[in-house]
Amino acid sequence: MSTDTEGDLYFESLEKEWSMNEANNLCKLYLAEGNGLQIWRALRELHEAKIPIPESIIKKFVEWSIALEDANTPIQACKALELGGGEKDKKGLKRAKQIERQWRLTGQVTDLMRLYKIGPQKAIEIVSRDTGKPFATVKKVYYGVTSTAPKRKASLRSNTSSKNTLDSVMHGAFGR
């Protein structure tokens, strides 16, 4: 016999949706800057929320394990696990944190647009006011992130919580 109330079940579903959104955002960060740490964080987020791990993430870990077997030094191991950024971007954690801040700021704008059915201009004004960041900065970040998102990965632009989004984002990153 379950003692869960309707409210408990509702809040549990909201927590799972939040965790799925967080995992999606971490995968987007991986796609944007190639730092494998984001996939590790997504795995932890999904595991802690008791959300099944998508096959695409499991395949990525298998790919890393194969590459790791050939690593003979700590530097080679980091490269095998894609830690510290991709081949094109060697700035590592500093760059990853910058991209994460940009995605979160953009996520705030898109969340407002979706929840309140308002345009980007109004949402940018609200985020600017609430965060204390200049309007021009929020606008530049928002349009910079949304205009550079690859067209073939349109799901990266939206902040949806569909279970299929994570897998499609991951297939876009890892599909061979």
- 31, two tokens: 């796609």
Taking the CA atoms of residue 29, residue 92, residue 36 and residue 50 in that order, the dihedral angle to the nearest 10 degrees is -60
- What per-residue confidence (pLDDT) applies to 45? 93
Mean predicted confidence (pLDDT) in 29-42: 87
Q: Which residues contact 40 (CB under 8 A, 6 or more apart)?
A: none
The answer as to whether 3 is a domain residue is: no
Query: Does 106 or 7 have the greater pLDDT score?
Result: 106
- What per-residue confidence (pLDDT) applies to 101? 85
Q: How confident is the model at residue 175 (pLDDT cuts 50, 70, 90)?
A: very low
Q: How confident is the model at residue 103 (pLDDT cuts 50, 70, 90)?
A: confident
- Name which of 45-49, 97-101, 170-174 the model is least confident about: 170-174
The answer as to whether 71 is a domain residue is: yes
The answer as to whether 53 is a domain residue is: yes
- What per-residue confidence (pLDDT) applies to 142? 93
Measured CA to CA, the distance from residue 15 to residue 147 in angstroms comes to: 30
Measured CA to CA, the distance from residue 61 to residue 44 in angstroms comes to: 13
The answer as to whether 160 is a domain residue is: yes
If 0-12 CB within 10 Å is exposed, 13-18 middle and 19+ buried, where does residue 32 land? buried
- What per-residue confidence (pLDDT) applies to 40? 92
What crossing angle do the helices spanning 6-33 and 37-48 adopt, rounded to 10°? 170
Question: Are 31 and 156 in contact, with CB atoms under 8 Å apart?
Answer: yes
pLDDT digits (tens, 9 = 90+) for 144-170: 888 754 443 333 333 444 444 455 555
Helical H segments across the chain, by residue range:
6-33, 37-48, 55-69, 74-80, 93-116, 120-131, 135-148, 163-174
Measured CA to CA, the distance from residue 136 to residue 16 in angstroms comes to: 34
DSSP 153: G
The answer as to whether 56 is a domain residue is: yes
- 143, two tokens: 């349009």
Whether the predicted model's global pTM rises above the 0.75 cut: no
The answer as to whether 1 is a domain residue is: no
> Which range marks the domain in which residue 170 is found?
12-174
- What per-residue confidence (pLDDT) applies to 62? 95
The answer as to whether 5 is a domain residue is: no
pLDDT digits (tens, 9 = 90+) for 60-89: 999 999 999 998 877 788 888 888 655 554
The answer as to whether 151 is a domain residue is: yes
Question: Are 54 and 167 in contact, with CB atoms under 8 Å apart?
Answer: yes
**Number of domains the chain contains:** 1
What crossing angle do the helices spanning 163-174 and 6-33 adopt, rounded to 10°? 20
Mean predicted confidence (pLDDT) in 129-141: 95
